Chain A
Amino acid sequence: MEVPILKQGEFLIAMFQAALSDADLENLRRGLLQQVVRFRSRGVIVDVTAMDVMDSFASRTLREIAHMIRLRGAETVIVGIQPEVAFAMVQLGLTLEGVSTALDLEEGLAYLIEKSKIAD
């Protein structure tokens, strides 16, 4: 399944779809990292608004994405987790600890901009 990765200045925006299989998530992880390197992005927004279920594998993948992107000196923020998905996640004990989160694309961009300004 193709996941659109958009470039917004120094940042990348990846819109995760619903119904991503494990294989899709793996491909995404690799693809995203490639793009970060290619464009020397300073930050990545992963928009999961469309994901109606976030299970342990998805959660682990997101944490790995954030970790790898940080190794490249860039920041990741996850946006768009739906209220009921968030509720289900914490019941399973998935808290995305160590990964930045924001409400939506707008908030995510604001966060990345602020972070990169502080870093400069």
Chain B
Amino acid sequence: MAKRESSPKDSGARNNQAPELASSEAPSELLRELVAHLRQNRTQLREEWVGRISETRLLTAMTKEEIFAEATSVYDSYVEALETETFEALQAYARNLSERIIPRGVETHEVVGIVLLLRDVLARSLFAKYQTDFKKLNRILDAYEPAANRIANTVAVGFVQERERVIRQQQEAIRELSTPVLQVRERLLILPIIGVIDPQRARQLTEQLLRGIRTNRAKVVVIDITGVAAMDVTVANHLVQTVEASRLLGATVIVTGLSPEIAQTLVTIGVDLGKMNTVGDLQGGIEQAERLLGYKVMAVAEAR
């Protein structure tokens, strides 16, 4: 067990001990000393930090009051992470903070910037405090630096992940808007597909269509792929699955606008085109759909 030079409580009253005795402090001791220092000088250091933030013109999207409020929370979380040497609370806070400031337009370089500024402000204060004891300063920095770097990392990564989540959400919304399932007649849905379909979009189309069949009580669906240039095997399988799933909901699917290339792809994956309802173009498909719907009505009348 290493000999202790001083307890955290009397860090203010430093004795002039010989350097050899000082070398026996454990890292956790140093961290505790450090945390106490950061807590004692909280007001001053935080002010200094906020000053540096406005100097470097970061967080321009936020008001002074907001910056001050967030700075307080960040400072306290920072010190707490240093003290507990655990980062879960910090991670949670970082995600929370990101959720709040991303809609305000705060960018990644700003978040990374302010955390690094805090790191620097705190490091400078350590230089100032231990300038007379170079060996001690080195040991304190040995304890401080890895923790400070990990904190910066945690906050930055938390922010970036939240941003990515928001971007994914937005992309999803765009995709939803750009793939309408149209109801043109009663019990008839049309799904015109245009452009490039990747597996994710294909999956989303299927979901939307199936929900649409249920909501609109559709009996016939016309999927028009005139606007689709090519389809890889995965997406072609998706099309087949969509046809099969629609049938499970009691709806018949007519595929229109099948190009020779896509027809070939379907055959390659083992689809029996004879069993699939296909019509040359959208107009023809709608006509056949109406016949299917009309035919049902006629049959009951005839049977009477």
Residues of chain A touching chain B, judged by Cβ–Cβ distance below 8 Å, are: 79, 81-84, 86-87, 89-91, 95-96, 101-104, 107, 113-114, 117-118, 120
Contacts and interface: CB of A to CB of B under 8 A. Distances in A.
Contacts of A117: 300, 303-304
Given A83-B213, A87-B210, A102-B250, A114 B296 contact: yes
Contacts of B300: 113-114, 117
Given A83-B207, A114-B300, A118-B299, A89 B245 contact: yes
Interface of B: 206-207, 210-211, 213-214, 217, 219, 241, 244-251, 296, 299-300, 303-304
Given A103-B213, A103-B250, A103-B251, A87 B299 contact: no
B213 to A, nearest CB: 7
15 contacts: A81-B249, A82-B214, A84-B207, A84-B210, A86-B246, A87-B245, A90-B244, A90-B248, A95-B248, A101-B247, A103-B219, A104-B217, A107-B217, A117-B300, A117-B303
A10 B216 CA distance: 29
Contact of A91 (B217, B241, B250): B241
Given A103-B213, A114-B296, A86 B250 contact: no
A80 to B, nearest CB: 9
Contacts, number: 62
A101 B207 CA distance: 19
Given A83-B207, A87-B207, A90-B244, A107 B299 contact: no
DSSP majority for the A interface?
helix
Main secondary structure of the interface of B (DSSP, over half): helix
A86 B248 contact: yes
Identify the interface centre among A91, A103, A107, A113: most chain B CB within 10 Å of its CB: A103
A98 B11 CA distance: 83
A101 B253 CA distance: 14
The 9 closest A-B pairs by CB, nearest first: A83-B210, A102-B250, A103-B250, A86-B248, A117-B303, A86-B245, A90-B241, A90-B245, A90-B244
A74 B219 CA distance: 23
B96 to A, nearest CB: 31
A90 B300 CA distance: 32
B214 A107 contact: no
Contacts of B304: 117
Nearest to B211: A83
B248 A96 contact: yes
B250 A101 contact: yes
A90 B210 CA distance: 12
Nearest to A54: B248
Contact of B214 (A89, A103, A114): A103
Contact of A89 (B206, B207, B248): B248
